[in-house]
Amino acid sequence: MSFMALFMAVGLTSCREEKSQKEELIEEMQDKDADIEVKERANDTKIKMETEDKKVKIKEGDDGDTKIKVKEDDNES
């Protein structure tokens, strides 16, 4: 019985999902009140997010392939 309890405790704690880079970027841009545009087409989904100093483009294909582009402006006045 103890073994079962230990097994379940370890199993449940190891099931925590780690956020993907895509999810982290989306949350970060939402926190910064970015303009977000989502286009869903037959073959892919495109997400464009933009703030004053950062642009992020995410393209997901139906095959599971994800491409992420991040452009940051480093203009300091």
Taking only the tens of pLDDT, the chain with its 77 residues reads 776 776 666 665 555 556 788 888 889 999 999 999 999 988 889 999 999 999 999 999 888 889 999 999 876 54
User: With contact defined as beta carbons under 8 Å apart, do 68 and 21 qualify?
Assistant: yes
Q: Does pTM surpass 0.75?
A: no
Q: What is the pLDDT of residue 69?
A: 94
Element (H, E) at 66: strand 66-72
Q: Cα 62 vs. chain centroid, distance in angstroms?
A: 17
